[in-house]
Structure 1
Amino acid sequence: MNPSISIGNYLIEKLLECGVRHAFGVPGDFVLGFDKLLEESAIEFINTCDEQGAGFAADAYARLRGLGVVCITYCVGGLKVTNTTAQAFAEKSPVVVISGAPGKNERIRNPLLHHKVREFDTQYKVFQELTIASTVLDNPNIAFQEIDRVIAAALKYKRPVYIELPRDMVFVTGNPNYQAVKQPEASNAEVLNEALNEAVTLINHARQPVILAGVEMNRFGLQEELLQLVEKTNMPIAQTLLGKSVISELHPNYIGLYQGAMGQEYTREYVESSDCLIMLGTFLSDINLGIFTADLNPKHSIYVTSEKTSIRWHNYEEIRLQDFVRGLLAADIRRRESIATNPLKIPANFSPITGQQITIDRLFGRLNSFIDKNTIAIADVGDALFAGLELFIHDKSRFVSPAYYASVGFAVPASIGAQFANPNLRPLVLVGDGAFQMTGIELSTVVRYGLNPIVIVLNNKGYATERPMRDGAFNDILNWRYSRVTELLGAGLGFEVNTEDELEAALMQSQAHCESFCILDVHLDPQDTSPALKRLSSALGERIGSQ
């Protein structure tokens, strides 16, 4: 380590060591010094239209790259990313929130400085509730140690962290005698061995074992180990909504998305009748479990996450998810000679009917034959997500959505983070018209940085998710001419889509046009919703109606 390195440059070096090559944010006077350091470093600063867009972009980047960064100014910027940080915490996405702040010397006598809310530490207190670790870098003697501690927590727990950097500390030299201490992480070997023995015994004696994989298999980079486990044992595998694309959905052992009563009956019956359900990295949340319509018997369950390990009625402490999965892979598990035939097939090639009004079902049927292994589908909340669950994803980590926290407006800015995280993928953005009106202006950022997502706007003139639950004028929005945003931005191709043949022409032109973004304004009947959304709305409507 350079003995004369500044606190700001040390932070940048640590981010580079962790593979970060882009930071997302909006500049402001309290963070301009650090922004300039970023500009002069190997990390590219991507300034978005709004802080919320930056937060969503950093979240998507973290999901694909392993660590994301959002960099904003004090309070007026920082408090605008509280929602995106809350989502990252809820869905285990390791985002580093870096906020500029008033300098230490500016705080003497507690002046009414601009952007201040109540006290100078008000924002810090807010982020303590939304992150797994937080710090204010106001002491050069321990600044490097604090940076190491906080970033290590993000990587260990796969959750967001907060670093506040007073602007008069950016160029201050840290403690040159600081030596980084790496704490080895490992499971308790005896406990792990006992848990694996019980799990392997249960699996080998089972008649119908099945793996139910969740989002943590993505977050902890265990997709390859999961695939090897499936192919070594020949066990069938299902996945949860939030964990969609943890494995290729074209794999012969894949039996579908498990969502309790919301999902396909075949998948539900197979999973719930299993006498050994191996749940790996799975969140037992309401939407993941079909609004708690799931019927999973703990008597037949092996449940392992980064926070908990339980096998039948036994709980085990000090076990890492990574160690357990790799232990299963190395264990002597009986290979199954045959499994049930997977009934899930990609729909036949789409044949557009000239003049026929487009529907949700036909739209996503066509998208199933449109996507390929170089496509990453990014779904916003609503039917963009629930109809999107019917898409067959060709490779691991090729479907991203806020399927647990469910914050509307995620998809367009998330496509920015996703494409910077992996430039070889072209985002297919699935977004409702309401969600687009919240953050769709981030297409300006898309144009500025030469990105090329294909944006499908599901234009059903309002919040279709809520209409079946309880309708009213509050679900209506102004009907924009979405395809003409290209005229505003001076780039991109826009398409009005009312019929199946118009959809076909728009998709073919969009596929060929790689220089910039494409946007398809797909006009849908406001009452036309996917079967999955109908099932969800019915369950939620029953809850609301009883309150």
Structure 2
Amino acid sequence: MAKRKSPQSSTTARKKTATNSSKTSKKRSPAEKSSRTASKRTSKTTAKQRANNGKLQTIGAYLIERLQHYGLKDMFGIPGDYSLQFYGMLEESPIRVIGMTREDCAGYAADGYARVHGLGAVCVTYCVGGLSLCNSIAGAYAEKSPVIVIGGAPGMDERHADPLLHHRVKDFDTQREVFEKITVATASLDDPLTAFREIDRCLEAAVRFKRPVYLELPRDRVQTEGLYPHTPKSEAHSSDKDALREAVEDASELINNCKRPVILAGVEIHRFGLREDVLALAEKNKIPMSATLLGKSVVSEKHPLYLGVYEGAMGRETVRKYVEDSDCVILLGTFMTDINLGIYTAHLDPGRCIYATSEKLRIQHHHFHDVLLPDFIRGLSKSKLKPPKRPMPKATKTKPTSFDPVPDAKVSVKRLFELIDQTLGDGMVAIADVGDSLFAASDLSIHKHTQFISPAYYTSMGFAIPAAVGVQVANKDLRPLVLVGDGAFQMTCLELSTAVRHGFNPIVIVANNKGYTTERFLQDGPFNDIPNWNYHRLPDLLGGGWGFEVHTEGDLDQALSAALANRDAFSLLNVHLDPLDISPALKRLTDRLSKRI
């Protein structure tokens, strides 16, 4: 059996090929000395103009050109003195700059943008900007969302006497060293001899591994020219033919000998653009499909072979039983996280599993290396599979919801999401924040032209609103329906001012249960209570948008209808809920978790 180590399946190998960054040595290298003269040569022309003139490009201009090559059209961030020169170059380029209210929100927005567009970018100043960005970039790393982080830094020439420059922490390498832990590649663009190659290396790593990268740009290197003309080179990656052949043969044998196969699709199917390949495999062989919570909507939930979200004890019993009764579970692009597995209430026997991701391939207890996920899925689809046709249980499919409001009845979580399920339509994207909004949303029906986005692995509260801004920057015709609890809303709600500024029209539904209800069922106490705001009056503060206060089902029906009709600005629904009212999914989960606390 072929067992060669692959950069995609080995963290060590990956670090050697993608993540090692050149550290700035305290002693000047010859390249640094030569660059002192080069740094004085500046140009005010754009990247495109300089390329057309056949002259040497500046580091800043080359970075912008390469970002455009990868299809980037927008960048998020907040300027600061260490990044102002680069911001000036961005303004002269075709890349649109989207200013945000906070750096962490800029990171969430770039993450949301990347999940729709395929690649996002954010630019911030030194340390006070970069370190504020860390949490959102950590989430993008955990959930495989490729975001380019550009961090401004003090100039190389101003570091000679080791001065205590503003924003500095410990030493000048602190910011880059922190980002080494939460990105797949980092580089300091301090040397004009290597800067262009480092830019290429990091951008290629982001696209290949679908994870963030970090580029540090000292402010006196933005206008510094490279020392020689540079032509980008892209390294081709392919599977080991013998390993791929053996893996497909072993997987085919397992599938052909089983009686109850099922596909469990994960988030990497979306990240690597493999939805059509998975559908081809399932449809050709009539294999039923399920999805994880993080991978929700990777395939249309209206598809006749789709079962529902599998999430252990948190999911619907019919889906859980169908998946766990399978004698061949084909996990494709799936993260085996505690949330995806219902806090480890899932029961999946490795001896009955084919587990294929971009980083590893395991068939039963056999491991294969140098096999790329797209090659494996396509190879499996082309092979002669003859699995038995497994009937779809009728109880697995949820009945279409029909919300008939009882005008004076108080709104419950269950009824709220019944109306939301009925409301989702073409051209909408459901964005769920952490809390019961996420768990309740797991039962929503997402069809072909709808998407679902959530931080369902890293679970950082405050993600949804800035991510919605990023989504509409990427595609203004895609209207976000933001599902957020009052606790998460209070963390990043002012980013709706960016929506006002750009004329975006998300619908924000605040599940106002007066605190952290998810945690109340784990450990109750006053620490779970938060101040109750008049959320529906936020549009008055921001100077735009529509606000609605909702107490009853009649209020809810009218408010959501008005929100759908209001397409010129954002709409915010302040939905009052009982502090102890939770979704059926969360009830199943907390019942199990409370036994462990």
State the TM-score bracket (shorter-chain normalisation).
over 0.9
8 Å Cα contact 2:426-2:449 kept in structure 1: no
What is the match of residue 66 of structure 2?
14
Residue 177 of structure 1: how far off its partner (Å):
2.9
Residues 1:324 and 1:223: Cα distance change in structure 2 (over 3 Å): same
Alignment deviations for residues 118-141 of structure 1 (CA, whole Å, 9 cap, x no partner):
101111111111111000000011
Alignment deviations for residues 278-306 of structure 1 (CA, whole Å, 9 cap, x no partner):
00001111111011111111111100001
Match of 2:271 among 210, 219, 229: 219
8 Å Cα contact 1:29-1:73 kept in structure 2: yes
What is the match of residue 430 of structure 1?
483
> Is the aligned partner of 1:538 residue 2:591?
yes
* Distance in 2 separating the partners of 1:250 and 1:95: 31
8 Å Cα contact 1:483-1:519 kept in structure 2: yes
* Distance in 2 separating the partners of 1:277 and 1:396: 27
Match of 2:308 among 235, 241, 256: 256
What is the match of residue 349 of structure 1?
402
8 Å Cα contact 2:427-2:450 kept in structure 1: no
Letter in 1 for 2:178: V
8 Å Cα contact 1:218-1:397 kept in structure 2: no
What is the match of residue 36 of structure 1?
88
Letter in 2 for 1:325: I
SS in 2 for 1:81: helix
What is the match of residue 420 of structure 2?
367
* Distance in 1 separating the partners of 2:203 and 2:55: 21
* Distance in 1 separating the partners of 2:175 and 2:393: 54
SS in 1 for 2:468: helix
What is the match of residue 121 of structure 2?
69
Residue 537 of structure 1: how far off its partner (Å):
2.4
Letter in 2 for 1:491: G
* Distance in 1 separating the partners of 2:112 and 2:449: 15
Match of 1:166 among 200, 218, 221: 218
Unmatched tracts of structure 2, length 5 or more: 1-50
What is the match of residue 516 of structure 2?
463
* Number of equivalenced pairs: 544
Residue 348 of structure 1: how far off its partner (Å):
3.2
8 Å Cα contact 1:452-1:514 kept in structure 2: yes
Residues 1:198 and 1:397: Cα distance change in structure 2 (over 3 Å): farther
> Is the aligned partner of 1:104 residue 2:156?
yes
* Distance in 2 separating the partners of 1:149 and 1:472: 50
TM-score by length of 2: 0.89
Letter in 1 for 2:283: E
8 Å Cα contact 1:55-1:70 kept in structure 2: yes
* Distance in 2 separating the partners of 1:475 and 1:168: 48
Match of 1:498 among 548, 551, 562: 551
Alignment deviations for residues 487-516 of structure 1 (CA, whole Å, 9 cap, x no partner):
111111100011111111011111111000
Alignment deviations for residues 449-485 of structure 1 (CA, whole Å, 9 cap, x no partner):
1110000000000011110111111111110000101
TM-score by length of 1: 0.98
Residue 17 of structure 1: how far off its partner (Å):
1.2
Residue 178 of structure 1: how far off its partner (Å):
2.4
Unmatched tracts of structure 1, length 5 or more: none
SS in 2 for 1:406: coil
Match of 1:376 among 423, 429, 450: 429
Letter in 2 for 1:48: M
SS in 2 for 1:123: helix
Percent identity over the alignment is: 53
> Is the aligned partner of 1:298 residue 2:350?
yes
> Is the aligned partner of 1:130 residue 2:178?
no
8 Å Cα contact 1:456-1:522 kept in structure 2: yes
Residue 542 of structure 1: how far off its partner (Å):
2.9
Residue 422 of structure 1: how far off its partner (Å):
2.0
Alignment deviations for residues 138-196 of structure 1 (CA, whole Å, 9 cap, x no partner):
00111110000001111111111100000111111123332322211101111001100
SS in 2 for 1:414: helix
Letter in 1 for 2:511: L
Greater than 4 Å deviation, 4+ residue runs: 335-338
> Is the aligned partner of 1:149 residue 2:207?
no
* Distance in 1 separating the partners of 2:146 and 2:450: 16
Whichever of the two has the greater Rg, that structure is 2
* Distance in 1 separating the partners of 2:483 and 2:330: 31
Residue 3 of structure 1: how far off its partner (Å):
3.7
Letter in 1 for 2:292: T
Alignment deviations for residues 289-348 of structure 1 (CA, whole Å, 9 cap, x no partner):
011111111111100001110101111011111111111222222265563244323433
What is the match of residue 202 of structure 1?
254
Match of 1:408 among 456, 461, 465: 461
